[in-house]
A and B are shown apart, each in its own frame.
Chain A
Amino acid sequence: MKTISVHSYKGGTGKTTFLLNLAGLLAQEGKKVLAMDYDLRAPSFQSYFSTNNLVSLSNYLLEDTPISKIIFPCQVNDEIHLDIVFSSMEFLQQHSKQRDKLSRDDSKYLSKLFNLQKLISKTYDYLLIDTIPGFFYRSIDALMVSNIILVVANPSISNILGLEELSGNIYSMLSKETKMVLLINKIEEEGIQADKTIFEENLSKLKKIGDQMFTHTLEVPFFNMLSERIYAFEKDTNKEFLDVITKLSKIIRE
């Protein structure tokens, strides 16, 4: 089983979009995939699936709920084996003590994640983990157990500064075997009509970081698309976007 995490410095870079679409594509190809929402601060898998899940990842992390109870099959059709682990925002809001527990530098959660990974490793081909953007202990846990890390960045100055900081302090310290993929997602910053020259400048800075620090760099254009879709499962799908995800899946399988 391969474990893949997506991470970024800032929020809203496109992590979840890439992660779930990659999950969908791999599952569509017949792989057994488990996608896990480890973005404990702002979980978002709920908006992709209709479910009233009662048991979430935090139940496993904090209350020792068995793994089998936090995994939900996504029933697209019988051939597709895509399973999901949710995080529940409600849970974290209501129990602030527990939220505090989860944000500490306690190695317990690393071992929980490690055990989960070990237990499911025979059942799945891929474990995909969505993370909290930025410097967080739980995200570091996810990065530590991953074979491949997808870092998503937008061509904006804050993204670049953040990426530099992450690269210098975190990514550079990870195991040499970890494959690092930079996804430059040309999503425009909200409210700002990006100046073309600045945009190009930022882009080339990102590419340079990509060349220095990453195994692969992939540029993703801006798509006029709808959010919260798994395009591999959609009838009238977005072909260009799926092409990008296919490219990504090839890098992952290399």
Chain B
Amino acid sequence: MDSKEKVQNEDLQKIKNYLQNSKKNIERMKIGKKPRRKFKFIIKENKFLFTLVLIIIVTTPLLTIILNRNPLATSPYKDAITNTMETFESNFTAVSGLPVHEVISENTSSELIILSTLANSILIESGLFSKKDNLMKRISFIFEIIVDDSFRDYNNKTQKLPVFNQFLGIYALYQAFYVLEDTAFAFSFTNISRIVNTMITDFLYYSTWPNLFAVSEDTSTSYLVDQALALSVLTTHMFLTGEQKVFGWDLKEITGGMLSRIENRFYISASQSFFHKYDTVTHVSSGISTSADLMFTSLGLSRTEKFSSGYAFPLSSYNLHQKVINELIDSNWLVHEVDKIDDSIQIKDQAFFTMVSYLLNLQNVGLEIENSTSTFLYSEDGFVNSLQNPIVTAESCMYGLITMSSKNWAKIQNEREYAPEPRPTPTGTGTETESPVPSASFSFVGVISAIVVIVALSRMSMKYKTRKKFGDQAEI
């Protein structure tokens, strides 16, 4: 046997050993254990760690002193958050919406699945809570209710959820995506885009084309709040993916169209106020807008102000936000539904208004609402539903958590929302705008550069090489 052959055989032996070990490792991994790894590789990879351990051993006395100091409080509401989370986890095993202390039976609803996915995700993102297991549970639920790219009723999967929950569902998916990026691949932006595509075809172009109106299936009433949330989600989608088009739909055009519809059908320019709903059959607008209508409209407007949609809405997001504060928020910073003096104080409105305020970079308002919520709507068990009917439910817990984590989370969310192009000229409405991202024209080069910017967020688009016909023939 010459030396070369010998070496080869040794190599072969090594390979066979590796194969044998891999077999055992696969068996280990199948039952959830880690594979056995050669020690030399572990040391090689963790040289730094080994050195560190040495240093730690040497400096232990010093470290004990440091470690014994109280950890920094990240939120004044840490206790409220921990208690609420505990209440939620111990009382609502599945996603039931029942109040605490009542019999626990399975009462799962899609609304709650979406809400708790959203709340859990932004809570983790805000850095105030780190365990992800609970969110993982939510995720398996949320997959159960997505059928053919739209959100369905948990108990009757043929039934689509109303349009508001569809869009809230998408928003929850983004947040879960960012939190679970490495573990839950199923939330690729491509998958989310598919749902967005379904929303546009099923809910916006639902009746005659081009309707650009968010109307739930089988109904003829369209609500302002639905238009507003749809507007917010579609623009946010554009910012997060850096893509102006979803499955051929031009989001900027849709945004412009929606703004125009909102103005025509909901806006009363004389009083700078809004209608609550619009009948798509009789073409009659009616109802007084609620705080939810207005705050979501304000959010939607704020997103469209980041770029040019080709349609200028007569009211700025900032002014509308101010209007909510003036007309619907009392001296205790509690959000009323239609009038500063009505007696409907709901945690839901508190939560969404905190969220919107922070997303609009209005920190002071956010802080006040956060404060009032913990003062008036928090009991020892967790957050309560409303001031009039103060019971702790799964739902109220989730809204409480959204309120508490909005501040840290909105900062992150705002940072990752890149507008596809800078706003042409600031209209001087007083909104604190974020610095615009350099313009990227949506030529191929544009797409690539936009992609470089958002590569951390989305997967890249790629085309199968298209070939020229005659080129093929020439080669054959």
Contact = CB atoms under 8 A, between A and B. Distances in A.
B464 A111 contact: no
B22 A144 contact: yes
Contact of A107 (B35, B456, B460, B462): B35
Interface in A108-131: 108, 110-111, 114, 119-120, 122-123
Q: Which of A107, A228, A229 has the most CB of B within 10 A?
A: A107
A173 B19 contact: yes
B16 to A, nearest CB: 6
Contacts of A78: 247
Interface in A49-76: 49-55, 64, 66-69, 71-76
A229 to B, nearest CB: 8
Interface in A158-211: 169-170, 173, 175
Contacts of B465: 48-50, 228
B25 interface: yes
A84 interface: yes
Contact of B37 (A107, A140, A141, A229): A107
B462 A73 contact: yes
Interface stretch (A2-10, A214-222, A230-238, A245-253): A230-238
Contact of B463 (A75, A169, A228): A75
A181 B225 CA distance: 58
A169 B247 contact: no
Nearest to A73: B190
Given A51-B460, A141-B22, A68 B37 contact: no
Nearest to B26: A144
Contacts of B131: none
A72 B462 contact: yes
A106 B19 contact: no
Interface of B: 11-12, 14-23, 25-26, 29, 34-38, 41, 181-188, 190, 247, 448, 452, 455-456, 459-465, 467, 469, 472, 475-476
Given A51-B462, A135-B15, A106 B38 contact: yes
B460 A76 contact: no
Contact of A111 (B25, B190, B448): B25
A107 B25 contact: yes
27 contacts: A50-B463, A51-B460, A51-B462, A66-B181, A67-B182, A68-B187, A73-B190, A73-B461, A84-B462, A105-B15, A107-B22, A107-B25, A110-B25, A110-B26, A111-B29, A111-B34, A111-B35, A114-B26, A119-B183, A119-B185, A122-B186, A135-B12, A140-B19, A144-B22, A170-B19, A228-B465, A236-B469
A145 B26 contact: yes
A75 B463 CA distance: 5
Contacts of A229: 467
Contacts of B22: 107, 110, 140-141, 144
B18 A67 contact: no
B462 A75 contact: yes
Nearest to A81: B190
The 4 closest A-B pairs by CB, nearest first: A66-B182, A51-B462, A105-B18, A107-B35
B449 to A, nearest CB: 11
B464 A74 contact: yes
